[in-house]
Amino acid sequence: MARDPRDILVVALDVDGIDAARDLVDRIGDQALWYKVGLELYSSGGPDVVRMLKDQGKRVFADLKLYDIPNTVSRAALCLANLGADIIDLHIQAGWDAITKTVTLLDEECDAASRPDLIGITVLTSATKLDEDDQPLTAEAMAIEAVRRADLGRRAGLSGVVAPTPAVAGIREKCGNDFKLLVPGIRPQGSAIGDQKWVATPASAVAAGACWIVVGRPINQADDPAGVAEKILEEMTGVECL
C-alpha cells in the first residue's frame, strides 16, 4: 500500500535558533509536515521551538537522544510529550529500566490520542570507532548490533527505532511490520552524500520498510528548500510500503 509522502518526510531543522527555524519552515511551506528538532536547535531555541512548530500545525520529532538514569530519562520524555512532541527518542543503551520506566510513564500520563511515539537509538553510525586503534565497524557488523538492540527495544515497549540504512531490512525482519523505523542518511537522487557513511534514496528507504525518512542538509542548505522537498515527495509517490 502506498502512503501519503507528507506523512513520511521529516525535515531535520538543523539551524541555530528559533528565528532561523521559523524562516526555514516558512520557506518550505506546505511541502513538509514533519520537522526534527535536534540538539543544536533545542539548545539554542528551547521549548519555544516545539511550540512554534505546533502552532503552525506541524508534527515534531524531538530528537534529543535521551541517555541518563531511568528517573531522568522518563521525566524528560514526559516534559517533551507535554510540550506536544509527536516522536521522542532515547538511547537503547540507556538500558531496560530506562526504557520500560519511560514507556510506563507516557502510558500513564498521556491521552491515548496524543501519546508520542517513543523510539530508540540503536547505534550511532558515526561512533563505530571508539578507540584510536580501532578498525571502524563494517556495515554488516553494525547492522547485527542494530538489529539486536532494536529487538531489545521492541521487547521493552518502544514503538520503533532510528534505523541506520544497512540495518533496515534486518530490523524489519526481526521486529515485524508494526515496529516503526525512522531512517536518516537519506539522499535524494543526485545530491551530495556529505559526511554520511551509509545512505539510501527516499524511494529505496520506503520500499525497504521506513515509516519515516529524515532529510537534513539536502533541504536545509538548498537555495530552494521547498523545491527539493517537493522533489523528494515526488520520489516517494506511489512507492509500495508496509
> Which of 153, 75, 159, 155 shows the shortest CA–CA distance to 116?
159
The answer to whether the CB of 230 falls within 8 A of the CB of 32 is no
Name the H helices within the chain: 18-28, 39-45, 47-55, 70-83, 96-109, 139-156, 168-175, 202-208, 217-220, 225-236
Does residue 185 interact with ligand C5P by CB under 6 A? yes
> Which string of x and - marks every residue 118-137 that binds ligand C5P (by CB under 6 A)?
-------x------------
**CA atoms lying within 13 Å on the CB side of residue 14:** 12
Instruction: Name the grid cell of 57.
Output: 500545525
Does residue 217 interact with ligand C5P by CB under 6 A? yes
> Which string of x and - marks every residue 86-125 that binds ligand C5P (by CB under 6 A)?
---------------------------------------x
* Residue of 28, 31, 37, 38 that binds ligand C5P (CB under 6 A): 38
Residue nearest to ligand C5P (CB): 216
Distance CA 208, CA 25 (A): 28
* Residue of 45, 116, 120, 164 that binds ligand C5P (CB under 6 A): 164
Instruction: Name the grid cell of 230.
Output: 517537493
Minimum gap (Å) between residue 108 Cβ and ligand C5P: 29
Binding site for ligand C5P (CB under 6 A): 12, 14, 38, 125, 162, 164, 184-185, 194, 196, 214-218
- Active-site residues, by number, are 65
